[in-house]
Amino acid sequence: MARKIKMGAGYRQRKDGRIEYRWTDKETGKRYSVSGKTIEECEQKREQKKKDIERNRYTKNSDVTLSVYFEEWIKHRDGVVKSSTIRYDKNIFKIITPTLGNF
């Protein structure tokens, strides 16, 4: 019989011997899980998954206007894309803002 590993809350050992960690996002109520061969590997994957989840959250406030959203979007793209791309995006947005900026 396989040896049982003592683990904390949220962890479980699967039948294949891998360790799985499950948690629920308190803001969305969505469940997530990661698995690995060791608890340390699970913890590393969990932290990376939480960073990815947080990075993909665009807004927590549904009352954000298009112009505010665009400014946040540009901040996150700065340093990721060429400056000419950001300049092009800003020029395009100058055309869109007068019509849709308050939505």
Q: If residue 25 lies in a helix (H) or strand (E), which one and from where to where? A: none
Average pLDDT of the residues in 5-26: 86
pLDDT digits (tens, 9 = 90+) for 25-48: 888 888 999 999 999 999 999 999
What pTM value is reported for the model?
0.50
Could you write out the DSSP letters of every residue in 40-94? HHHHHHHHHHHHHHHHT---S-TT--HHHHHHHHHHHHBTTB-HHHHHHHHHHHH
Q: Is the pLDDT of residue 5 over 90?
A: no
Q: Nearest Cα to 52, choosing from 74, 32, 67?
A: 32
